[in-house]
Structure 1
Amino acid sequence: MRLPILSIRFIGYLTGLSLCLLTSCFRPAIPISTGPKYPVELFYGQQQPTRPYEELKFLTISDEVPLQAKQRVRGGRMLDRGNTMLDKDALMGKLTLQAQRLGADALVNVKYQYYTTATANGYSLEGLAVKYKQEYSAN
């Protein structure tokens, strides 16, 4: 028995529509992360927390790392320079751990600077560790 071409097309469209409907409601079993989680809140540049706070200490991390073979000048061009996002996240993790050890709730005015020379990559990461003030409710 032979199906008419119209029926075969209809079945194809119906199958495609079913797949689209089923996959559009897909919800991953593992939530997609929006980035690393740090032990204290981060406020970059001029961002400020909405809660009142007291300043604890200005923290800074800096280092200079010699260039690896793949980062050297090739054909007059500097390729593969800089830190990866994973490197930057690890550095931020170190700074936030310093803040946490002080008892800070947040780092404000966080700044990240990167530089490169003919022989090394360097970075500086800084921020002000702050502790939120207690809020009392009037009852």
Structure 2
Amino acid sequence: MSVYAKHLRDIIKETIKHPVHFNTPLAGFKVIVNAGNGSGGFFTWDVLDKLVADTSGSLNLEPDRLLPNYIPNPEDKIAMSVTRVAVLNHSADLGMVFDSDVDRSGVIDSTGNAINVDRLIALMLMIVLREHPEP
């Protein structure tokens, strides 16, 4: 996990390429992570926190195989609603909801709007096409 987390941090640092704070590019950025008691807590501790994002107010980071709160699923209305409230209450820049094995995520913007899966895929596609415009 430490190698994978470092790889994710390196991707973020290289993508942002902050001219002054290369190693701490998320300083001043507030992110609420809702790991749903699945395995996504690592992303908070080993990626975001090490890039100096403010993750206070994050939810359900400790893994618990009983999943005591709600289904860890970015399509679950309760998980998204709880995260939306946390984003608004903490004046966060972004909220992220992970499923239990962290292969899917949902996003809440700073105004509390959910970025649904289709819009999230379209956003990622725009980024990839900008970086790799040739067919």
Structure number having the greater helix percentage: 2
User: TM-score, normalised to structure 2's length?
Assistant: 0.25
Larger Rg: 1
TM-score (norm 1): 0.25
